[in-house]
Structure 1
Amino acid sequence: MEITQVLGFVGALIIGLVLGLTGGGGSILTVPVFVYVLHINPVTATAYSLFVVGSSSAVGAIDNFNKGRIDFKSSMIFALPAVVAIFSTRKYLLPSIPHHIANFGSFELTKDLMIMSFFAILMLLASASMILKKKKENVDIANGPTETKNGLMIILGAVTGLVTGLVGAGGGFIIVPILVFLAGLKMKEAVGTSLFIIALNSIIGFLGDLGHLQVDWVFLLIFTVISIIGIFFGIYFSRFINSQKLKKAFGWMVLVMGIYILYMELSGSGI
């Protein structure tokens, strides 16, 4: 086994540990591990990430289902447009984007650069949601007209599906606030429902890649199993560690990684 594969599997364990310790956010590490540690091209990396994220989220969703923390009505309103968007993005949109998109002087915009830059921006947004202390506000959207709430959830579901399809990340930091403010769910229910939505989105998104992607199933399944094992270790250690402080520290790490990815991608393209 090559050293890069060993490092990749260590990364899989860390991803699972973070997911188990913080209850989310670890999936944002999956694409960087595939691209920068295992040197997999970004399109394949985002596809693999969807499989790993979907499988890992399914484990968490099953646990939350057993605890009665999944609101299936809200999840279907959000997930149906999301899965249509993510499947369409993986099946039709991504394959149709040319490798070379445009030139701006010495700067060449490529498909890989677009994906990784967009992913880095998503990492910066995710880090902000983990670092910033959330103020408790009286948000009355959940008590508004049902048609308005459902309409907004459908639109936001489609947008989330598009983003997930492009970058291969679960998007829990986007989904949870939507479920709290629009569906009126309590935080634990929102997290459980979010995991169910992420699992559904990610697996269906991955299915959209199967027609035009050569999958190394042995490697992908080993990586996924190691990540899931890491989740259980993380859940165990979370009993002894302050999860909020850990999540904030992880947020700073994601921030640094997001800036690093932007720097690496842009500096390598003539900027």
Structure 2
Amino acid sequence: MIVLGFALAALIGISLGLLGGGGSILTVPVLVYVLGVAAKPAIAMSLPVVGVTSLVGAALHWRLGNVRVATALTFGVVAMAGAYAGAKLAAFMSGAAQLALLAIVMLVAAVSMLRGGVATRVEDAPSTVPVRAALLVPIAFGVGVLTGVVGIGGGFLVVPTLVLLARIPMRQAVGTSLLVIAMNSASGFAGYLGAVSIDWGFLAGFTATAAAGALVGTMLVARVPQAVLKRGFAVFLLVAGGFVLYRNRDALQGTDHSDATRAASHAAIASATR
């Protein structure tokens, strides 16, 4: 299973390189349902994976002039505060509740991809909406909280926000969002330190594999039809999100058995770290 897990880590990185984001949303399901890591450590460990792979993508976009550093820092600092707060908030939630929320986010992201993305539709329309910088602060904080709670970068929220409210062109919004994601992922991970058990050796290997995959994906991006790829990934995301939601349905019904969940989590951690 370790070999399969690392192969999937490479695929996560490749999909991020191809799509400019999105692929990292599968990191937590892979860690939990393929490698047997407990929910809370999996969510915490997903953040360095998301952050490092996003930083690789941001560096490549920066070389092409597609990163607005000032905007990323402004949005990212607020998002970092939200991510740290989200990680601390997660201490009051069960792992099953976090996974159920992640599943809902996966389904929303999949529907957004199937519809073509809010940002794409807005950019194609006449520019009639003024810059609304005041709205960026609460949205950035909210995206950060979501990152801290469920372990995703939130690119499918950051990109439309930058296009809609900051009026940044799509290509620059994607590059800028990757730097934002790297920043709030680092902050969210810091919020989990000391609260969950981390297998540092495993995390380093998984993250390096995903980052290498991101480089490969970036090199392949010009050879793969983006529309077909995004629709295929969105369908897969729908299936994966439905599976995760079904597995954690008790959390939505308020019947999550916390003692049993904790026992299973401890067993999974022990198994994954042997």
Please confirm whether the aligned pair reaches a TM-score higher than 0.5, indicating the same fold. yes
Q: Report deviation, 1:243.
A: 1.5
Counterparts of 2:81 and 2:52 in 1: how far apart (Å)? 19
Q: 1:157 pairs with 130, 136, 140, which one?
A: 140
Local SS of the residue matching 1:208: helix
Counterparts of 2:63 and 2:164 in 1: how far apart (Å)? 24
Counterparts of 1:14 and 1:130 in 2: how far apart (Å)? 19
Name the counterpart of 2:23.
26
For structure 1, the residue ranges without an aligned partner over 5 or more in a row are 99-110
Q: Report deviation, 1:139.
A: 4.6
Whether 1:94 and 2:82 are equivalent positions in the alignment is no
Change (3 A) 1:239 1:258: same
Name the counterpart of 1:242.
225
User: Does the 8 A contact of 1:77 with 1:150 survive in 2?
Assistant: no
Q: How does 1:177-216 map to 2 (within 5 A)?
A: 177-216=160-199
Q: Report deviation, 1:76.
A: 2.6
Indicate the percent of aligned positions where both proteins have the same amino acid: 38
Name the counterpart of 1:132.
115
Q: Which amino acid aligns with 2:59?
A: I
Counterparts of 2:62 and 2:219 in 1: how far apart (Å)? 19
Counterparts of 2:194 and 2:127 in 1: how far apart (Å)? 44
Q: How does 1:75-154 map to 2 (within 5 A)?
A: 75-90=72-87, 92-95=88-91, 97=92, 111-134=94-117, 135=121, 136-141=124-129, 143-144=130-131, 149-154=132-137
Name the counterpart of 2:239.
256
Counterparts of 2:104 and 2:126 in 1: how far apart (Å)? 29
Q: 2:32 pairs with 32, 35, 40, which one?
A: 35
CA-atom RMSD in angstroms: 1.8
Name the counterpart of 1:105.
none
Q: Report deviation, 1:200.
A: 0.5
> What TM-score comes out, normalization by structure 1 length?
0.87
Q: Which amino acid aligns with 1:214?
A: S
Local SS of the residue matching 1:190: helix
- State the aligned residue count: 249
Q: Which amino acid aligns with 1:180?
A: V
Counterparts of 2:207 and 2:73 in 1: how far apart (Å)? 26
Counterparts of 1:236 and 1:265 in 2: how far apart (Å)? 37
Counterparts of 1:234 and 1:32 in 2: how far apart (Å)? 21
Change (3 A) 1:66 1:238: closer
For structure 2, the residue ranges without an aligned partner over 5 or more in a row are 257-274
Name the counterpart of 1:60.
57
Counterparts of 1:8 and 1:93 in 2: how far apart (Å)? 29
Local SS of the residue matching 2:152: coil
Once the two structures are superposed, what CA deviation does each residue of 1:95-141 show, in whole Å capped at 9, x if it has no partner?
2x16xxxxxxxxxxxx1221111000000011011111354333522
Q: Which amino acid aligns with 2:28?
A: V
Counterparts of 2:170 and 2:32 in 1: how far apart (Å)? 33
User: Does the 8 A contact of 2:97 with 2:248 survive in 1?
Assistant: no
Q: Report deviation, 1:24.
A: 1.4
Counterparts of 1:33 and 1:244 in 2: how far apart (Å)? 25
Counterparts of 1:85 and 1:239 in 2: how far apart (Å)? 35
Q: Which amino acid aligns with 1:82?
A: A
User: Does the 8 A contact of 1:78 with 1:153 survive in 2?
Assistant: yes
Counterparts of 1:83 and 1:133 in 2: how far apart (Å)? 28
Name the counterpart of 2:43.
46
User: Does the 8 A contact of 1:53 with 1:169 survive in 2?
Assistant: yes
Q: Report deviation, 1:231.
A: 1.3
User: Does the 8 A contact of 2:56 with 2:215 survive in 1?
Assistant: no
Higher helix share: 2
Name the counterpart of 2:150.
167
Local SS of the residue matching 1:16: helix
Local SS of the residue matching 1:262: helix
Q: Report deviation, 1:71.
A: 1.4
